[in-house]
Structure 1
Amino acid sequence: MPSIDAAFLALPAATLADAALSRARELGAAHADFRLERNRRATLRLRDGQLDASTDDEELGLAVRVVHEGAWGFASGIDRTPEAAARLAEQAVATAKLSRVLSSDPVELAGEPAHADATWVSAYDLNPFEVPAAVRLARLSELSEVLRGAAGVDHVDAQLIQVLENKYYADTAGTVTTQQRVRVHPEFTAVSVDRTNGGFSSMRSLAPPAGRGWEYLTGTGWDFDAELAELPELLAEHVAAPSVQAGRYDLVIHPSNLWLTIHESIGHATELDRALGYEAAYAGTSFATFDKLGSLRYGSEVMNVTGDRTVEHGLSSIGYDDEGVATTSFDIVSDGVLVGYQLNRQMAAAKGLGRSNGCAYADSPGHIPLQRMANVSLQPSPDARSIDDLIGGVEHGIYVLGDKSWSIDMQRYNFQFTGQRFYRIVNGQLAGQVRDVAYQATTTDFWGSMAAVGGPETYVLGGAFNCGKGQPGQVAAVSHGCPAALFENVNVLNTVTEGGR
């Protein structure tokens, strides 16, 4: 069982926290919290089996946040002495005094029980940073060679992102937590070049990023060897495939594509700060405004969506958020109706929603916590409905796999998504690949057209490392689980004849 890294535990976190929180109390802060964070991120990139780039960065610092006379204050730094920590508390209080004139309503925080001396470590077997860099590079090269040796593959790109995140949190209410998360994102892309006209086609692996360790690259949770062995033949079929005819189709969408539609049209739309208009400059607000809670028909009756910061291997999973809230799972859409939002303590208190559901996160010690996305997931059907069952009920449709480009408006309402590969469905059978496909809809029309969801065996936890929000911008990793699902009579565009690739 992995444990907190010894080097992080050796840092004087408790001493620094005591200095900062004691000084904040002396200055009259109604609330203060302290974070000591170490974030390590490494990237390996190969081009045609050769090392193209290698980075290994570490950020280590501390942050103090206060509520003073109803206003937020924040300060951060890298000097790890008690005197420096106390000065950060003074700076945070000074910032609160300046920002008070901009605060229309005093800050209130939803209550949370104290969690003293709590420790949490994510679910992984082997920290990738404990694996020699040469071994990691060799494995990427080995997997790249599976693609490079195949006919019709002209170039191969491979990338592995590895993250180790440590946080120590303490606040004036008595919560003290120490946590560690590991996550990895392997990605492989095969490229075929048309020598006659200079055009190219590409296809990427469908393996999602995961809250796992090095074991993910060696067969735990995903069989990369098997997937990459199949990819060249799939790419060759894609190259020769006809262009899709635009029109209305029933779509069976695989989780490798549907996770991104969930992220953009549900995940962001149900962040309460967006729904209330507090978040607007970065990627917009939300059509799912607070007055629609409990009444908005988000989708069909088979649509059940949860937010969850506890699911095993989830990229957004954590034991306690950056406001000291013990994380949980919660309903967002139930039987197609909007029933909940993602919250932090301020949003929960402002709208009288009770306890926060633990969605506060800062991506570095230099940033203040924001309300960030939980693992927002579409729940599967309790029966054993398979992907073949979903396809078997379609006369005229398309089976969609893998994510690619996307577009959505600033209200999270009108959208368009493409994918990695597409198969025609004719009378319940797959009938070969087509290309140049995009599906387009409004959020409520799309989810309202969902006629069936697959069973638990079709469920996959997808996600991304790079969800952006805030000014200054912050980046968070988040997973979205879902089964395969059937959507009826969806508008399909041809990306060549209606806008270009």
Structure 2
Amino acid sequence: MPPTASSSAGRQVDPLFLALPLRRLAAAALDRARQLGVSHADFRMERVRSASWRLRDAKPAGSSDSLQLGFAVRVVLDGAWGFAAGVDLTEQAAAQVAEQAVAVARLSARISKAAGGGDLVELADEPVHQDATWISAYEINPFDVPDAEKTGLLADWSSRLLAADGVSHVDATLLTVQENKFYADTAGTMTTQQRIRLLPSLEAVAVDDRTGAFESMRTLAPPAGRGWEYLGGTGWDWAGELARIPEYLAEKVKAPSVQPGRYDLVIDPTNLWLTIHESIGHATELDRALGYEAAYAGTSFATFDQLGVLRYGSDSMHVTGDRTAEHGLATIGYDDEGVATQSWDLIRDGILTGYQLDRRMAKSKGLGRSNGCAFADSPGHVPVQRMANVSLQPAAAGPDTAELWAGVENGLYLVGDRSWSIDMQRYNFQFTAQRAYAIKNGELAGQVKDFAYQATTTDFWRSMKAVGGPQTYLLAGAFNCGKAQPGQIAAVSHGCPSALFEQVNILNTQQEAAH
């Protein structure tokens, strides 16, 4: 189903973007591409504004405000891609960029033919979306809020933490992005979009003046496709979390080092989202499974021949790809190939059932329509297959988090993401957390530290004994997922409930470092 008109109810696309000669430039580029005989051409105009603020101990430590503006033309000619980009916003320049893209396609076709040929570029069919507008779900555009109000709020929150016993330093950051895109292609699709996202974070540090040892504790509030209202309490209890951080930090400073061994783990969604990102999100990108990312960030153990066969995890494992989730960082109305975004299964009952696709891969592998995963992070970059909001679904009548650990005799409850490592096939991994609580006979027994959980992707997900109910579900994520050459950065969310895993290997990181 295409995005509904209600997606933009009560909000308007930035007038500065609409004032650009979007349709004239698109018409000039697409008309010239048609004259040169392409089988497909698309035009994409982007205006991306990014701003950040940093405070150290409640005092300003830096800020930035940048703007990217430009357009790109992509074509298919003689079964080959061509791409070019420009910044001169005239019709003549748009036509010239189209000519450059066609020249690239012709050269690519000749090189491919001289090398013995290869798969011709063909695109999966997509319905035409005429003059469609989509705006993300937010109430207050953060770029409409005075900078003094932003830094004032961060300074106030920092001061609250600094006033607590045991807190030596506080770092505060806020990142905000407004992304506008206009897309048109030779099939007749034309879309205009605007999305807002932000990432607020505060980290308290405790330093032992005698030894120099330190520990830190960061807010768990995830980045979100929301507006300034998020920092006012919509979607997150900021006041409550800031009040508890000094207590968590003080307990962590005094916590004993973990005993290595095998433990049952109850993993909070504030930690599990990152394991989903690395071991499922990247592994189910079809370009990786086909070997396209081998030179940069790796391939995938979940190869195409495993579709419908691979036992990825336990029967309770249901994972979806979703470009439509409200407030998701990868949520959009239409992707950068004019595909209306969707939700679909990647893993069902523990079995690999789908991949993330763009139009070329969908066509070449006979998978029908693309599921809308083509994305470019700037007007100067070509769209590549990028991650959807990949999420583990909760059990409809599942337990809450406390009920999950109530049945554990010897385990750990892990909260908050921290460091991670995974191999190039997304198979062998190691993750840490901000906090780990010992579980003894069904009850929490205080924090431990110096821990990491280690497994292979399939062993880990097959050990999942239970997933929590919707009341434990959280949509978390990151602003900085990297991929492709030249490198591109994308924001993506991952939802999940709390979940119980049996007999996972726990390392003592201090002992490992000593070795």
Instruction: Provide the C-alpha distance between the structure 1 equivalents of 2:60 and 2:21, rounded to a whole number of angstroms.
Output: 38
- Residue-by-residue CA offset, 1:87-146 (whole Å, 9 max, x unaligned): 000000001111121361110000001000000000000000000011111111111111
- Counterpart among 52, 56, 63 of residue 61 in structure 2: 52
> Hey, what does 1:339 align to over in structure 2?
353
> Hey, what does 1:80 align to over in structure 2?
89
| 1:360-399 mapped onto 2 (5 Å cutoff) | 360-399=374-413
Letter in 1 for 2:199: H
Contact in 1 for aligned 2:463/2:502 (Cα 8 Å): yes
| 1:146-165 mapped onto 2 (5 Å cutoff) | 146-165=160-179
C-alpha spacing 1:149/1:180, structure 2 compared with 1 (3 Å): same
> Hey, what does 2:142 align to over in structure 1?
128
> Hey, what does 2:212 align to over in structure 1?
198
Instruction: Provide the C-alpha distance between the structure 2 equivalents of 1:322 and 1:126, rounded to a whole number of angstroms.
Output: 26
Corresponding pairs, count: 501
- Residue-by-residue CA offset, 1:157-188 (whole Å, 9 max, x unaligned): 00000000000000000000000000000011
Q: Give 5+ residue unaligned stretches, structure 1.
A: none
> Hey, what does 1:179 align to over in structure 2?
193
1:426 and 2:440 are equivalent in the alignment: yes
Instruction: Provide the C-alpha distance between the structure 2 equivalents of 1:128 and 1:2, rounded to a whole number of angstroms.
Output: 13
1:463 and 2:477 are equivalent in the alignment: yes
- Corresponding residue SS for 1:314: coil
Q: Which deviates further from its counterpart, 366-375 or 379-388?
A: 379-388
- Counterpart among 443, 449, 456 of residue 442 in structure 1: 456
- Corresponding residue SS for 1:444: helix
Cα drift, residue 500 of structure 1: 6.2
| 1:7-406 mapped onto 2 (5 Å cutoff) | 7-100=16-109, 101-102=111-112, 104-406=118-420
Contact in 1 for aligned 2:398/2:467 (Cα 8 Å): no
Instruction: Provide the C-alpha distance between the structure 1 equivalents of 2:452 and 2:225, rounded to a whole number of angstroms.
Output: 30
Q: Which deviates further from its counterpart, 96-105 or 432-441?
A: 96-105
Instruction: Provide the C-alpha distance between the structure 1 equivalents of 2:513 and 2:76, rounded to a whole number of angstroms.
Output: 50
Cα drift, residue 384 of structure 1: 4.0
Cα drift, residue 195 of structure 1: 1.1
Letter in 1 for 2:144: E
Instruction: Provide the C-alpha distance between the structure 1 equivalents of 2:157 and 2:42, rounded to a whole number of angstroms.
Output: 45
> Hey, what does 1:495 align to over in structure 2?
509
Instruction: Provide the C-alpha distance between the structure 1 equivalents of 2:476 and 2:511, rounded to a whole number of angstroms.
Output: 30
- Residue-by-residue CA offset, 1:432-473 (whole Å, 9 max, x unaligned): 000011000000000000000000000000100000000000
**What TM-score do the two structures reach when normalised by structure 2?**
0.97
Q: Which deviates further from its counterpart, 239-248 or 217-226?
A: 217-226
Letter in 2 for 1:473: G
Letter in 1 for 2:58: G
Instruction: Provide the C-alpha distance between the structure 2 equivalents of 1:457 and 1:275, rounded to a whole number of angstroms.
Output: 34
- Residue-by-residue CA offset, 1:357-390 (whole Å, 9 max, x unaligned): 0000000000000000000000000104100100
Instruction: Provide the C-alpha distance between the structure 1 equivalents of 2:56 and 2:420, rounded to a whole number of angstroms.
Output: 26
Instruction: Provide the C-alpha distance between the structure 2 equivalents of 1:243 and 1:500, rounded to a whole number of angstroms.
Output: 14
Letter in 1 for 2:302: A
- Corresponding residue SS for 2:512: coil
- Residue-by-residue CA offset, 1:266-293 (whole Å, 9 max, x unaligned): 0000000000111212210000000000
- Corresponding residue SS for 1:18: helix
Instruction: Provide the C-alpha distance between the structure 1 equivalents of 2:307 and 2:296, rounded to a whole number of angstroms.
Output: 23
Instruction: Provide the C-alpha distance between the structure 1 equivalents of 2:169 and 2:12, rounded to a whole number of angstroms.
Output: 40
Instruction: Provide the C-alpha distance between the structure 1 equivalents of 2:296 and 2:241, rounded to a whole number of angstroms.
Output: 36
Instruction: Provide the C-alpha distance between the structure 1 equivalents of 2:82 and 2:54, rounded to a whole number of angstroms.
Output: 40
Contact in 1 for aligned 2:464/2:499 (Cα 8 Å): yes
Q: Give 5+ residue unaligned stretches, structure 2.
A: 1-9
**What TM-score do the two structures reach when normalised by structure 1?**
0.99
- Corresponding residue SS for 1:222: coil
